[in-house]
Amino acid sequence: MNKNKIIPAPDGRPCIVPSVLSADFSCLKKSLRGLERQAGWVQLDVMDGHFVPNLSFGPHVASGLAAATPLALDAHLMVERPGMFIQPFARAGVSLITVHQEAEDDIGACLKKIRSLGLKAGLALRPKTPLSRALKYLGRVDLLLLMTVEPGFGGQSFMPGILSKISEARRAIAGLGRPVWLQVDGGINEDTAPLAARAGADSLVMGKAVFSNPDPSGFVRKLNARLKGKQLL
């Protein structure tokens, strides 16, 4: 883990997390420039071609990304065997690793291993997976990710049916008595971000909305102002 790249603690305000899945990798450093003043951290969507029908990045790309931005990195493991990748991504310099509840490995053991390496631990649910499958892990995570699209590709449309699941998760986190990020990922843009934040999400992963904009950091700055202005949480 890269000691000087810390995932901030939740502070009740929504924070935007750009996902580099939609970034222009021919000029990654340029695409990320300025985001360090606007975004909470950056997400790397890791796909294995089995858990999702797509292939994306490995630990080597994560270490390259770590060198391209001062922001902390979150590795979202959309893989069948997340246990295999925890150590390699920790070595690559990520600060938070999220595993899917639906993956094959022992999720409790994965969360324990992530934290044993000094990283923050996240648990993700596909849209169809009920929140009840996550409740027994809530005491062992720093972040709960509710997918608002079927995982595998950027640029999909937001699933509004997840809004009630977000609110239910926010109530479950409130009952914990300690801060846990409630992250949403998929189809989050200037229109859906306020809806998700109002439902209780405070970590908003955005890929296409950020990196299809000619001025990614300017886009995030304006959306931040809009979200803070409404004090949605």
Write out the catalytic residue numbers. 45, 185
Residue 151 found at the interface with ligand DX5 (CB under 6 A): yes
The number of residues making up the chain comes to: 233
Residue 2 found at the interface with ligand DX5 (CB under 6 A): no
- Nearest Cα neighbor of 76 from 12, 31, 121, 117 is 121
Residue 152 found at the interface with ligand DX5 (CB under 6 A): yes
Distance CA 105, CA 37 (A): 37
Counting residues that bind ligand DX5 (by CB under 6 A) gives 22
**Tokens coding 205:** 């992963």
CB of 168 to ligand DX5, least distance (A): 21
Instruction: Considering the complex, state which of residue 51 and residue 111 has its C-beta at the smaller distance from ligand DX5.
Output: 51
Among 71, 125, 149, 199, binds ligand DX5 (CB under 6 A): 149
Q: Which stretch binds ligand DX5 (CB under 6 A): 18-26, 33-41, 64-72, 128-136?
A: 18-26
Per DSSP, the three-state class of 145 is strand
- Nearest Cα neighbor of 199 from 122, 149, 146, 143 is 146
Among 156, 167, 190, 194, binds ligand DX5 (CB under 6 A): 156
Residue 40 found at the interface with ligand DX5 (CB under 6 A): no
Residue 208 found at the interface with ligand DX5 (CB under 6 A): yes
Residue 22 found at the interface with ligand DX5 (CB under 6 A): yes
Residue 205 found at the interface with ligand DX5 (CB under 6 A): yes
Quote the strand ranges of 68-197, DSSP E. 73-78, 96-100, 120-125, 143-147, 181-185
Residue 216 found at the interface with ligand DX5 (CB under 6 A): no
CB of 221 to ligand DX5, least distance (A): 18
Instruction: Considering the complex, state which of residue 155 and residue 160 has its C-beta at the smaller distance from ligand DX5.
Output: 155
b/e sequence 152-186, b meaning 16+ C-beta within 10 Å = bbbeeebbeebbebbebbbebbeeeeeebbbbbbb
Distance CA 145, CA 135 (A): 12
